[in-house]
Every structure is written in C-alpha cells, then in structure tokens.
Amino acid sequence: MDEYREFMVSVAKDAGLFLKKSLNDKHLIDYKGEINIVTEADRISEELIISRIQRQYPHHDILSEESPGKDRGSDFRWIIDPLDGTTNYAHGYPVFCVSIALEKEREICLAAIYNPMLDEMFVAQQGGGAFLNGRNISVSDTADLRRSLLATGFPYDIRDDKNNNMNYFNGMAMCAQAIRRAGSASLDMAYVAAGRFDGFWELKLNPWDTAAGWLLINEAGGTVTDLYGCPFHLESPHVLATNGKIHRVMIDVFNKVDSAVPF
C-alpha cells in the first residue's frame, strides 16, 4: 500500500495547489441545478487527477463527481472529489479540499483529504491509523452533547424537498454547544477525525463526499453510521459521524425530531 499512498498524496496535493493558485481567478460557472454548480476548476482538477491515475494504473476503476465512471472490472477503484466546496470556491471563500479514496475489493483501504489553504494533508490507511501531515490524529474525548461542536450541511434541493435537514438542524441546535456549516462535507469529516468537530451529519451525500472521510474517522477511533445507527455504506442516504461518545445521544435527538417530541 505504500506505493498507492505516496501516489495518492502526491496527486491530491498537486490538484489542491492548482486550486489554491486559481482561487481568485474569474471562474466559468455552470449550473447542474438551481443552486448546484460546477466550475472549470472542478473539471481541470478532476482531469489532473484522473489522467495521473490512468497513466499509473490504467486498469483501475474510477468513480468521480464530474465525469462518467470508468468500470474496467478491476479489484481497485478510485473515488474522487476533485473540489469539495465548489460554491465556496466560486465565491473566493477559502474553505474547500480535494478528496481521494481507494477501494480494494469494495473495501476502502486508503484515503487522502487535502486542504491546500492550510497545507493540511489528512491520510488514513485501513488498519494503519489516521494522520495529519504525518502526525497521528484521533477523535475528540467530548462525551457531553451540550459541550460538543458539530458540523452539518444542507442538500442542493433544500428549496424543493422538505427532507432538507432543517428539522434536524433546529433540533440539534437546541442540544449542542454550537453547529458549523462550512460547505465541504469531506473537510468536515476530516475535522471529526482530527478532533476539531465532535460530530457531523448530513443528508443526500454521494460516495465521493464520504469515502475518504469515512476511513479517516474509523482509523481515528470514531464511529460512522447512518442517521439512526445502522451500518453506513457509500450508497447510504445520510451519514452520522462522531467521536463515538456522543453518537447514541445524537441518534436520540434525530428520533425525537422525527417523533415531534419537544426538547
């Protein structure tokens, strides 16, 4: 795995540094939905990553946000978000990252999330721990939801679908110390792994949003399930990721919201 890890870190860093250099350029923006956008920077970053993978590992499968998947029947699959935090990026707001995960036989074995603005490289290997710039990291020790700093996000169809997380946000806001909504799910999950956030939840994410963060949190000693405690997988409709100590109480909050039980 050392070869794959070194390659992944190198590619994620190169893509991230391109994004950082181009942050304040005028961006070409296309709309995939009313508020769901893609920029030319997404596509250039993705092309940089995919071209490098295809040169180095031409028989591997690839799943990426902005391009059709490449299914060659390999035991290996790269899962790529070339720019997580596109809306932030398009506005010049410097909160975004590059996220890359590698599956072997449908199990995530390597992950890298790179925040170029802070030059922070989060890396995890299955069974080998989680690291930030080479230093071992672990989830927080916070055991009281009232003392917890949480993170979340809202789906792109927030205006059209009542299943938009507003109810859960309102309920959790009454129970936690504070909630942040930074606009990059991958980075939020990396911050849970590093102990900066105590918990994170979100609805309607995609595999490229969660694959790398999932491994990071697991290797950092945290817990990742769906919103109600069932096993998480890349096609799960929602995700709950915590330090493990507040996991059950967060699930209880979601259940109270669903049952309309007052706090």
Q: Which residues contact 58 (CB under 8 A, 6 or more apart)?
A: none
Q: Provide the pLDDT for residue 32.
A: 61
Higher pLDDT, 155 or 208: 208
User: What distance in Å separates the CA atoms of residue 87 and residue 37, rounded to the nearest whole number?
Assistant: 7
Q: Determine the average pLDDT of the residues in 52-62.
A: 97
In words, the CATH class of domain 145-258 is alpha beta
CA atoms within 13 A on the CB side of 86: 25
Buried b (16+ CB within 10 A) or exposed e, 184-218: bbbbbbbbbbbbbbbbbbbbbbebbbbbbbbbbbb
User: What distance in Å separates the CA atoms of residue 241 and residue 222, rounded to the nearest whole number?
Assistant: 7
Buried b (16+ CB within 10 A) or exposed e, 99-137: bbbbbeeeebbbbbbbbbeeebbbbbbbeeebbbeeeeb
Superfamily holding 2-136: Fructose-1,6-Bisphosphatase, subunit A, domain 1 (3.30.540.10)
pLDDT at residue 127 is higher than 70: yes
pLDDT at residue 248 is higher than 70: yes
pLDDT digits (tens, 9 = 90+) for 157-208: 678 778 889 999 999 999 999 999 999 999 999 999 999 999 999 999 999 9
Q: Determine the average pLDDT of the residues in 110-138.
A: 98
Interior CA angle at 81 toward 78 and 86, to 5°? 170
Give the DSSP letter of residue 27.
Answer: P
User: Domain boundaries in the chain?
Assistant: 2-136, 145-258
Higher pLDDT, 67 or 219: 219
Per DSSP (E only), the strands in 147-220 are: 149-152, 178-180, 199-203
